[in-house]
Amino acid sequence: MSAHEPQAAFKTRAAAALHDPILKIAVERTAGTAEAKRAVAVEAFPDFEAARTRAAAIKDHVVANLGHYLEQFEANAVAAGAVVHWARTSQEACDIVIGLCRQAGAKSVARSKSMLGEEIGLPHALAEAGIARVETDLAEHIIQLSGERPSHIIWPAMHKTREQVSELFRRSHRDPHAEETIAAMAESARRHLREGMLSADVGISGANFLVADSGAVCTVTNEGNAELSLVPPRLQIVTAGIEKIVPSMGHAVHLLRLLARSATGAALTQYTTFYTGPKRESDRDGPEEMHIVLVDNGRTAMREEGLAEMLRCIRCGACMNHCVVFRQIGGHAYGGTYPGPMGAVLTPAIDGLAKTRDLPNACTLNGKCQEVCPVNIPLPTLLRGWREKSWREGLEPKATRAGIDLWAWFAQRPKLYRAATATALKSLRAMGRGGWLRKVPMAGGWTRYRDLPKPAAESFMAQYRKGRRR
């Protein structure tokens, strides 16, 4: 279960987002840039389609043999001096992390952005335990200051404009920026965060990859904040989903090539680090202890219940950058840890379908998300799967069920269906003005924002019978 559960109904949140003019501008600025940069990078890559087929095959191979690889990873990480912990649920994972922090007498932790950390509710657990948290990723720092949650998995503060960030920094930084430029704001955060990173007792991160044949944990960042968070403290803690395993560094290299290109359009992130155990005896820096928490939190169930393909996800964010719905409503409206198409598949698995059944419906099924996914996850198919399950389990509202039952009753009686269609066409045409329908009874949700074209005088079937259509 996610520690963050939707507070209001999805439709309420989505309506609020649609009415927020600043949000639309902010989302467009970042997602639009990401879309354009990805397109250039993919075009320049030799046979991206074959590369993503291979990437999908690597992830499928790992998921099919997950037990084997987890045991291999554990043995190698332990041999390198790390301590490996296992957590079935988010609660177990947080308890392990808080226990380790308390054991170390930690007063503050430096945290490098991790979506798994958000998924298990780690920020909240640290706050409850009275442990200060320094979010070191610039975007996470912004949303920590504003008391919000991430709205995107790569750009968690995507919903903020520069003007809003400026105001936050002026209110919170000791020595804020003098000029109203993005560079000056970033410099202000650099000054503000450095002390917190260097004085933290514990460094916590997620993992982009867990390398089975060496026991290494791989993190990627563009800011270098993972390294600045994980090298100085005495204790390093990694929380990672069990699906993050890759057989070897070679497999990680293939996925890294696709990850950066899909996320930001770069050939590689600026800093890619493989940590294998704690510091060696005569090393000059690095933590005395390294702990790795392997988190299930519903992943074994996803593997067993028809969602194994979702475990391919490498968290690049391309699906949301290209999603027409996400681009309109941003990430917060989705209500879970993970927004956009991948979130609409994952959130019902993490938080339960009963509370999240609107998410798989917030999709036009245009297929763009699968088209850009670097591991070719059939997101539209998985979303349809949730819709079907929602129907089977009787979770759809009564009015929807009654409407579809009524339609099915007519559809099974072709003569009656055609007569009803002909009547409906006549009525709709009578309501039309100048080729458009501006208002239609019981379709206010549609016509409030747009007009419907006036239908043809006869249905397709009627025209077909008269030989006018073939």
| Closest to another protein by CB, 148 or 451 | 148
Looking at 3, 78, 266, 308, which residue binds another protein (CB under 8 A)? Answer: 266
- Interface pattern 84-123 for another protein (x via CB under 8 A): --xxx---x-------------------------------
β pairing state of 289-295 and 235-241: parallel
Tell me the closest approach of the beta carbon of residue 230 to another protein, in angstroms: 9
Looking at 42, 51, 110, 302, which residue binds another protein (CB under 8 A)? Answer: 51
Stretch that binds another protein, among 12-20, 133-141, 171-179, 442-450 (CB under 8 A): 133-141
| Residue 343 CA neighbour count, 13 Å, CB half | 33
- Angle between helix axes 162-172 and 138-146 (nearest 10 degrees) is 70
Tell me the closest approach of the beta carbon of residue 419 to another protein, in angstroms: 55
Looking at 7, 21, 47, 453, which residue binds another protein (CB under 8 A)? Answer: 47
Structure tokens at 186: 């970033």
Tell me the backbone φ, ψ of residue 294, rounded to 5 degrees: -90, 120
d(CA 142, CA 149): 10
| Closest to another protein by CB, 128 or 305 | 305
Tell me the closest approach of the beta carbon of residue 209 to another protein, in angstroms: 13
Stretch that binds another protein, among 153-161, 382-390, 406-414, 432-440 (CB under 8 A): 153-161
Binding residues for another protein restricted to 201-230, rule: CB under 8 A: 214-216, 222-225, 227-228
Binding residues for another protein restricted to 163-182, rule: CB under 8 A: 165, 182
Stretch that binds another protein, among 58-66, 98-106, 396-404, 425-433 (CB under 8 A): 58-66
Among residues 211, 213, 225, 200, the alpha carbon closest in space to that of 275 is found at 211
Binding residues for another protein restricted to 286-305, rule: CB under 8 A: 286, 294, 296, 300, 303-304
d(CA 324, CA 340): 9
| Residues near another protein (CB under 8 A), total | 102
**According to the binding rule CB under 8 A, does residue 13 interact with another protein?**
no
Among residues 44, 52, 145, the alpha carbon closest in space to that of 375 is found at 52
| Closest to another protein by CB, 26 or 346 | 26
Tell me the closest approach of the beta carbon of residue 296 to another protein, in angstroms: 5
Stretch that binds another protein, among 83-91, 338-346, 374-382, 384-392 (CB under 8 A): 83-91
How many angstroms from the chain centroid is the CA of residue 433? 44
Cα angle 172, 178, 180 (rounded to 5 degrees) comes to 90
- Interface pattern 362-401 for another protein (x via CB under 8 A): ----------------------------------------
Scan for tokens 């996320």, then name that residue. Answer: 263
| Closest to another protein by CB, 261 or 357 | 261
Binding residues for another protein restricted to 327-366, rule: CB under 8 A: none
259-290: b (≥16 Cβ within 10 Å) or e: bbbbbbbeeebeebbebbbbbeeeeeebbebb
**According to the binding rule CB under 8 A, does residue 310 interact with another protein?**
no
| Closest to another protein by CB, 214 or 376 | 214
| Closest to another protein by CB, 50 or 408 | 50
CA distances from 9 to 12, 160, 350, 354 (A): 5, 23, 17, 12
| Whether 13 contacts 20, CB under 8 Å | no
| Whether 349 contacts 307, CB under 8 Å | yes
- Interface pattern 23-42 for another protein (x via CB under 8 A): ---x--xxxxxx--------
Tell me the closest approach of the beta carbon of residue 158 to another protein, in angstroms: 8
Structure tokens at 30: 């970042």
DSSP letters for 216-278: EEEEEESSSHHHHHHSSSSEEEEEEEGGGEESSHHHHHHHHHHHHHHHTS-SS-SEEEEE-SS
| Whether 244 contacts 299, CB under 8 Å | no
